[in-house]
Amino acid sequence: DSGVTQTPKHLITATGQRVTLRCSPRSGDLSVYWYQQSLDQGLQFLIQYYNGEERAKGNILERFSAQQFPDLHSELNLSSLELGDSALYFCASSVYGSTDTQYFGPGTRLTVL
């Protein structure tokens, strides 16, 4: 158990819908990262937040947005969902920045039908 929690574990929805994925980092960690992993693909970095502020951005679509709240939990919002958005979405946290160990949550499996 990494100490990072993600909800929900599974999510099945239809094209065009909007969903919210939630992540709670390990106690004491200030950075939260979001990754997308499609079938047989590597980890694609989406976005990083540090202590409530956006720190780094990766290949995140405009239809996706994220935020980190004062209690440091983070949410990833996916809208106008397409079939290709079906993937495992991981959240990770670290104490400070990306030179620190990143601890991954169990992931949310999103299926868009």
Q: Judged by CB under 8 A, does residue 102 bind other proteins?
A: yes
Segment contacting other proteins by CB under 8 A, of 8-16, 19-27, 67-75, 105-113:
105-113
Binding to other proteins (CB under 8 A) within 14-43 occurs at 33, 35, 41-43
Q: What are phi and psi of 83, to 5 degrees?
A: -55, -35
Q: Judged by CB under 8 A, does residue 58 bind other proteins?
A: yes
> Which residue reads 């047989």 in tokens?
40
Q: Judged by CB under 8 A, does residue 5 bind other proteins?
A: no
Q: Judged by CB under 8 A, does residue 97 bind other proteins?
A: yes
Contact between 59 and 46 under an 8 Å Cβ cutoff? The reply is: yes
Distances (CA, A) of 25 to 28, 37, 82, 93, 97: 8, 19, 28, 5, 14
Q: Judged by CB under 8 A, does residue 2 bind other proteins?
A: yes
